[in-house]
Copies of this chain bind each other. A is one copy, B any other.
């Protein structure tokens, strides 16, 4: 599921549990309600799985974990939920991993990640690159609609 890091002790968990998880889901419900969007059962379930995970999840990880007692979901169910969650800003796709993470930085932003190739951690950060990319785009008449920024390397815990 994730590239395990054998030379370091277990990483701290990032996934939400119990009350924190429930609170995050309730918050998501509220944000949906505010914009006439519906956090339906499969969408909610996929968001729950993402929020509870300690590392980026692949689509087929979600498909396998979807059911309550081992029954997997059908691929379109999960892909449709992911599409919705991305559209509303609840989740991001990490292109270079074919994997998904819940959004960790609420509010308007360009999603950017520092990905550890050893332990699999993907830290979401908030770069101020809008200005630069915009400047470059303006020089050529290009209109930016979205930016993907993904750094690969080693996190502090995995550096030698």
Residue of B nearest to A136 (CB): B125
Give the number of copies in the complex: 2
Chain A positions 131-147 with a Cβ under 8 Å from a chain B Cβ: 132-133, 136-137, 140-147
Write out the residue numbers on chain B whose beta carbons fall within 8 Å of the beta carbon of A129.
127, 129, 132, 149
Whether the Cβ atoms of B137 and A132 lie closer than 8 Å is: no
Name A residues whose Cβ lies closer than 8 Å to a Cβ of B: 95-96, 114, 116-117, 123, 125, 127-129, 132-133, 136-137, 140-156, 159
Query: CA of A151 to CA of B135 in the docked complex: distance in angstroms?
Result: 13
Query: CA of A116 to CA of B117 in the docked complex: distance in angstroms?
Result: 29
> What are 29 A-B pairs with beta-carbon distances under 8 A?
A95-B148, A95-B150, A96-B148, A114-B137, A114-B142, A116-B142, A117-B145, A123-B140, A123-B142, A125-B136, A129-B132, A133-B149, A137-B151, A137-B153, A140-B155, A140-B156, A141-B156, A141-B159, A142-B155, A143-B154, A144-B153, A145-B152, A145-B153, A146-B152, A146-B153, A147-B150, A148-B148, A148-B152, A149-B149
